[in-house]
Amino acid sequence: MKNLIIASTSTLHKGSYLDYLLPELKVLFSEIEEILFIPYARPGGILHDPYTTKAAEAFRKIDKKIVGIHTFKNPVEAIQNAKGIFTGGGNTFVLVKALHELGVMQPLREAIFSGTPYVGTSAGSNICGSTIMTTNDMPIVYPPSFKTLGVIPFNINPHYLDPDPNSKHMGETRETRIKEFHTQNTIPVVGLREGSWLRVQGKEIVLKGKLTARVFEQDKSAYEIESGTLIDYF
């Protein structure tokens, strides 16, 4: 049975790394002492070791040990043997390129479907959808495929921002870009605002956090769903 937390971000403006999620993570990983960390997204170009150290410092607050996948000779075996998995945020294209080239995308999907507890933040949440085609990141590398884990029946747009009526910025809004995506694609998109997350248990997907999420479907007007909503209509 799938057992996931799919979060928009890992840091809120008034908190430290992962602080707002730690109570949820303590429950998710309640029966696990050691968690495999996937640092491939490299936010800001950070190297794997310091990124893993940052994650380890956060998980230490809930008495959990973090081990970076990059320290294993065989990353596929690391995924297969992991009791719990965390994929951090950063650049989604960099993350997906590494997952495909190291051959761990499919093993990661299989681990999640077999019930291995998983948490993804930002880029790590983007890969839970069918593709990364609704990410906000710049394509600074060229992955072999845009296809990702497909463990939920829609795509994610993390860090979703509403249009600012007072802004003088003349570029596209997030809503405009997602509508453009739907001129070529049919898969629904859920815009997750900062501090929101999806709790996935088996086939049940529930929006969590204090904010609403914005849902986009092809040929329909975008609409809001409240925290606590069961997303079972896709």
Write out the catalytic residue numbers: 122, 137, 159
| Residue 202 φ then ψ, to 5° | 65, -125
Report the b/e string of 89-110 with b at 16+ CB within 10 A.
Answer: bbbbbbbbbbbbebebbebbbe
Contact in structure between 127 and 112 (CB atoms under 8 Å): no
Which 3 state secondary structure label does DSSP give 230? strand
DSSP labels, 151-208? -SSSEEETT-----TT----S--HHHHHHHHTTT----EEEPPTT-EEEEETTEEEEE
With a CB cutoff of 8 Å and minimum separation 6, the contacts of 193 are 8, 159, 160, 161, 209, 211, 212, 213, 214
Task: Find out whether 100 and 2 touch, Cβ atoms under 8 Å.
Answer: no
Residue found by looking up tokens 């999620």 in the block: 21
Q: What angle do CA 30, 53, 108 make, to 5 degrees?
A: 55
- Here the tokens at position 173 are 């809004």
